[in-house]
Structure 1
Amino acid sequence: MSKVVEVESDQGVAIVTLSRPDKLNALNMETFEALIDAGQALSADQSVRAVVLCGAGEHFCAGIDTSVFMAGMANEAGGSRMMPMDDSPANFFQRAAVIWRELPVPVIAALQGVVYGGGLQLAMGADFRIAAPSTRCSVMEIRWGIIPDMGISTTTRATVRLDHLRELVYTGRVVDADEALQIGLLSRLQDEPLQAAKELAATIARNSPDAVRAGKYLLNHVFDEAPERALRREALVQTKLVGQANQLEAVRSNMEKREPAFGPAVKIEVNID
C-alpha cells in the first residue's frame, strides 16, 4: 500500500491511516489515488467487518494540498479527473470520499486537530465521526474561490441541517468540536477518538457480517426512497438474511450462550423494480 495511506487489519477491523503528518495529512494527488485504491481493496475483502479511518500525527486532514490547486490551474488535474469514473457516478476527487460510504461495511472516522475542506468531506463519507474535544472543522473551499465538491451534497443529507450547511459553505467558518457535534458534523466526542473508534469497530465486528453489511446496504438506500420502495427493500433484504448460515449461527450461539463463530460474509443486494 502507498506510503501516504497505510492500511493494516486485525481480527476483521481495517485501520486506514492518512500518513503525511508533516503536511497535516493534506490530500495530494497520490493520496487521492491511494484512498481510492484502499477503498476498492477493502470493498473486495470479505474478511473485513469494519474500517477505522484516521490521520497520523496531531491532525486528521488539513484539506487539499496546494499542489493540487497548482496542478489544476495548469490544467494537469482537470479534464478527465472531473468526469465520472468508469465504475462510479463520482469523479476522481469525489470517489476518494464517497467510496467510504459505498464500502459494504461500517466506517468510523477518528478525528483530531484540523478537519478542513477535503478532509471534512472525507470524514463525512464515514458512517460515524468520533472526534477529540479539541477538533476544529471547516468547509474551507470558499477561501479558494471554489465549492466543496467531494460528495458533500450526498454525504450530509441525513446528518446536517441545510441552513447550517449553507452557512459553512458560504462562509468557510471554523467551528469547534462542540458546535460541530450540535449541527451534525460529528457523531460524538471522546478524549481518545482513535481508541474509541477501534472499540466501536471491534463491537461491530463481533456481529454477523451478513447482518452488518445488510444493515449498511439498507440504510444507504432507504433515506432517498419513497416509503413504499423503502419498505419493499427492507422486507426483501430480510428475506435474503433469514436462513443463511451466519443468521442461523447467530440464533444458535444466543440459545447456547456462547460466542458465535461466523463464516465469511455473503453479498446482500436486492432488486425492487
Structure 2
Amino acid sequence: MKPFFLRMLILALFPFYSIAQKSPRVLIIGLDGFSTEGFKTAKHPNLDKMIADGVLSLTTRPVMPSITLPNWTSHMTGSGPEEHGVTSNGWTKEKHILTPLETDKDGYYPSIFKVLKEQKPATKIAYYYNWKELIYPINKSYLDEVSFQEKDQYKDNYNKAYDFLLQHKKDPALVFLYSVHTDHAGHGYGWMSPEYISSIEAADVEIGILLEKLKTAGLYKDLHFMLITDHGGIGKGHGGTTMNEMQVPWAITGPKIKKMGLITEFNSNKNTSLVLARIFGIGKIPDSWTGSLPKTIFK
C-alpha cells in the first residue's frame, strides 16, 4: 500500500493519532529584574510577536523574598524557599540555614532538569547564564551544555542557544537562556530609569535576531517559548513586598498552548516547572513540589 493511502487509512481508523509526533522543545528566555512596570513601558516588538499566539500574565507573583536566587530556583524546582531552602542570594549547597525538604544523591533539591533526565532521558538540556551564583542550586550533572559569560555579556550565549537547538533539532530539548543585565541596570540607575528601559529594549533586539535565525533554519514553528523573570524593583533595589517588586510578566506560546492573550488568573514563579513537565509529558513530579499547573492555557 502506498504511504499516502496508508496514512489516510490510519487517520480514518485512529483520528487522534499523529503520524509525525514532534519532540517537545522549549526555549526559556529569562530576563532578571524585568518588572510588569518595565514590560508596560519599554518597547519590545520582538517579544510581542513571540508571545502573540500564546498567553501573557502581567500579574504573576514572585516568591518571597523578592530576590534573585530564591525566585530562579523556584522557577526551576516547582517550589518555594520554604521547600527548596534557598532563602537568599548567598545560598550555597555547603552553607545555608534552611534544610530542603528533599535532595538528590548529590545534595540538590530536585529540579525540572533532574525530572526530565530521569523520566525522558533523550531530552537535551542547555543552561546559559551570566550571573555566577545562579547555577549554585542546580545539579549540573543533568545538563548537557553549560555556558557562563562574564561582565553582563550575553550575546555569545544567544548564539550558543541557537547552535544547540540546531544541533539537536530532532531531539526533545530544553534551553534556558538567562541574562542579568536588566537587573543590574535597575540597581545601577533605578527601576524605570531610562537606562533600565533601554536594557529591556536592547535585550529585545537580541531576542529578535535569535528568533529570525530560528525561523530561517525552520526551527521556530515547533518550539515552545517562555518568557520568565524573578522580581521587579523599586528605586534602586528589591526584596520587599511592594507591587513594584511582587508583580512580573510571565508568558508562553507554542504548539500545545492556547491563544488566549492577556490572562488574569493566579500565577506564580513556582508554576513554571509544572508547565514544563506538562509539555514534556512527565508522568510523575516530585512530592515536594508545591507549584500548581495553570491547566486552562493548554489546548
> Of the two structures, which has the highest relative contact order with CA contacts closer than 8 Å and spacing of 6 or more?
2
TM-score, structure 2 normalization: 0.28
Higher helix share: 1
Scaled by the length of structure 1, what TM-score is found?
0.30
